[in-house]
Structure 1
Amino acid sequence: MRAVARDLRLPPLSTVEELCDAVSAHLDRPIRIAPRRMRVGEPSGFVERLPAEDVVHVEQETSGLHRAHIVCHELAHLLCGHLSAPAPPGRTPNSSNCPPSTRTWSGWCSAARTTTTPPKRRPRSSAPS
């Protein structure tokens, strides 16, 4: 992954938008970041592979730092080749060939599922008085 990151030739203090542009150029494919309010049970970010572009959907109701983390995570899925190829133009993607864990609510194949499940709380031990 470090070699891939070096190949992007980013300046040391790049923005998420600059990273997105660099990944887009590296993959020779447009990438658009689409902030939106996710529904309960949806991941906090995922990639939708459309015929003409990749769309990184990201939770808009979170901090800027968390949003940047989500986008970077989803871009890494694209760089590492974790996602299936987009459907050809004019065809609807068929998610039936995807494993159940990679089907998104919209029926698109996407292995990029970043969940924000809160950690389980441990029961408090009662301290002696």
Structure 2
Amino acid sequence: MRSERALRALCRKELRGLDLDLPLDAEQLCRRYGERRGRPINVMPYPLPSGMPNGVWLAAGDGDYFFCQSNTTPLHRNQIIVHEFGHLIAGHQMLGQLDATALLAPDPDDADAALARTCYSDEREWEAEMLASIIVGWAAEAGGAVDRTVDDEGLRRIQRLLGGHGGWM
């Protein structure tokens, strides 16, 4: 298991130069990271059945898909997406093959079977949650450091002056 220090270093390396706006928008994070690496990350809000995780990462041939619970608050959805992003940047791999139709199937037995083949170890869940917490925490600190009376364009100028978000990582 990687230390918190190693996870912070991984975040700095992977997020450097993405020129993200504040407040943090998880979908913008995914879009910019996907563009940089030449493989899109598609965020798919979906009313996932109860008893299932709130988010699932599916690596497909044409890109990555983050299925996230649509029946939740925007803040919670952002956290779910950033958690799945944490799995991705940590290099976690899903176990076995996942059939997206089984995941989203109305038959709970089919969905349970699909998820059973995609479980992460507790260590990987801890890493993904720590990465998400680091990213969200950095964004909150950066946002709190900027005077709230500055308009959106002024905020973007200040961010770019600081080197994108290199200054808040």
Please give the TM-score of this superposition, normalised by the length of structure 1.
Answer: 0.62
Do the aligned partners of residues 11 and 64 (structure 1) sit closer, same or farther apart at CA in structure 2, a change above 3 Å counting? closer
Do the aligned partners of residues 63 and 11 (structure 1) sit closer, same or farther apart at CA in structure 2, a change above 3 Å counting? closer
Which residue in the other structure is 2:47 paired with? 37
Amino acid at match of 1:106: A
Match for 2:80 among 55, 65, 70? 70
The answer to whether 1:81 aligns with 2:99 is no
Higher helix share: 2
- Map 1:1-129 → 2, pairs under 5 A: 1-84=11-94, 94=97, 105-106=113-114, 109=118, 111=120
| More displaced stretch, 71-80 vs 12-21 | 12-21
- Cα drift, residue 84 of structure 1: 4.7
Amino acid at match of 2:50: V
The answer on whether the counterparts of 1:46 and 1:56 sit within 8 Å (CA) in structure 2 is yes
Distance between the aligned counterparts of 2:119 and 2:37, measured in 1?
17
| 1:13-71 superposed Cα distances (whole Å, 9 cap, x missing partner) | 44222101122123321111111111122100010111111110000110000000100
Please give the TM-score of this superposition, normalised by the length of structure 2.
Answer: 0.49
- Cα drift, residue 76 of structure 1: 1.4
**Aligned residues between the structures:** 99
Distance between the aligned counterparts of 2:28 and 2:97, measured in 1?
32
Percent of aligned pairs with the same residue? 26
Distance between the aligned counterparts of 1:71 and 1:62, measured in 2?
12
- Does the residue aligned with 2:45 lie in a helix, a strand or coil? strand
Using CA pairs below 8 Å that are at least 6 residues apart, which structure has the higher relative contact order? 2
Runs (5+) with no aligned partner, structure 2: 1-10, 99-111, 129-169
Do the aligned partners of residues 26 and 37 (structure 1) sit closer, same or farther apart at CA in structure 2, a change above 3 Å counting? same
Distance between the aligned counterparts of 1:40 and 1:31, measured in 2?
25
Distance between the aligned counterparts of 2:46 and 2:52, measured in 1?
11
| 1:65-123 superposed Cα distances (whole Å, 9 cap, x missing partner) | 000010011111111111259xxxxxxx647xxxxxxxx74366464879xxxxxxxxx
